[in-house]
Amino acid sequence: MGNEVMSVLKKDYIYNLMLKGKRADGRAFDEIRDIDLRTNVIDKAEGSAWIKLGGTELLVGIKLQVGSPFPDSEGEGVIITSMELNPIASPDFEAGPPKEDAIEMARVTDRGIRESGAIDLSKLCITEGEEVWIVFIDIHVLNNEGNIQDAASLAAIAALMTTTIPGEREGRGEDMPMPIRDMPVSVSLVDIGGEVMVDPDLDEEAVCDSRLTIVSNQDGSISGMQKSGDGALNDEKLLKAVSLACKKASELRETHLLNI
């Protein structure tokens, strides 16, 4: 009950700000919070990245194992993405197996990487039909101040770009870098009573009608999309969001990924 009253008040406040073209933290509608991204932060992992997006903080670790391929793609490596919303990150998170939010965000991250063809999976095949590399992307959320999704996607591709495949350790030939072909970047927007804004913080996430995540690639094509939240979108708003997201994604790629 208490939370509901709070969120009604908060929504009013954020909505009224929006009408004046403002956001609670003073950002423009198309402005992403400051990003601090560092790679190779965990020595034990084959690749890793730490990201701070505004106040949201998380770690992505990449581990590789030798395993068997899926029967329908015997010549390709396997990607497995999981996300843990650890109770350390928010009073609202509980310990235990991932719930629908964590599953959804992990799967959207996974689809962005998979469908963009960012990893050349055929190069992860060791012996066709028998042995392939399995890439585990584990997202460990440390502090939630909103928009875990974009932080996770950006850190995941950054971590993958710094990953070395441990051929020698596993007795499968030489070490080699992860075969990366593209850099998918996710940008999320929320719709608050009519205007879309990028990179929602915690409050904006709590009061938004719906939320849209768009994953786009270097050539400007879209490789993943997900609407979530209880609202509906009209196509005008949707198309505006898509073009804004693609533009923002290319800025993020420019500043944070191309120098890795």
What the block records as the tokens of 187 is 């940008």
Q: Which stretch binds other proteins (CB under 8 A): 86-94, 130-138, 171-179, 213-221?
A: 213-221
Q: Which stretch binds other proteins (CB under 8 A): 24-32, 99-107, 161-169, 250-258?
A: 99-107
User: Of 43, 174, 234, 259, which one interacts with other proteins (CB under 8 A)?
Assistant: 234
User: Of 243, 251, 254, 255, which one interacts with other proteins (CB under 8 A)?
Assistant: 243
User: Of 226, 249, 250, 257, which one interacts with other proteins (CB under 8 A)?
Assistant: 226
User: Of 19, 232, 251, 254, which one interacts with other proteins (CB under 8 A)?
Assistant: 232
Q: How many residues does the chain have?
A: 260
242 belongs to the binding site for other proteins (CB under 8 A): yes
CA distances to 91, 98, 104, 194, 228 from 101, in Å: 15, 8, 5, 24, 10
β-bridge pairing 131-143 and 185-192: unpaired
Site for other proteins in 1-30 (CB under 8 A): 1, 4
Alpha carbon distance 16, 188 (integer Å):
22
Q: In the complex, what is the shortest distance from the CB of residue 128 to other proteins, in angstroms, rounded to a whole number?
A: 11
224 belongs to the binding site for other proteins (CB under 8 A): yes
**Amino acid residing at 115:** E
Helix axes 148-161, 100-115, angle to 10 degrees: 40
Region for residue 134 given its phi and psi (left: phi exceeds 0; alpha: psi -120 to 50; beta: otherwise): beta
**Phi and psi torsions of 13, nearest 5°:** -60, -50
**Amino acid residing at 59:** L
Q: Which residues bind other proteins (CB under 8 A)?
A: 1, 4, 72-74, 98, 100-101, 103-104, 106-107, 111, 114-117, 210, 212, 217, 220-235, 238-239, 242-243, 246
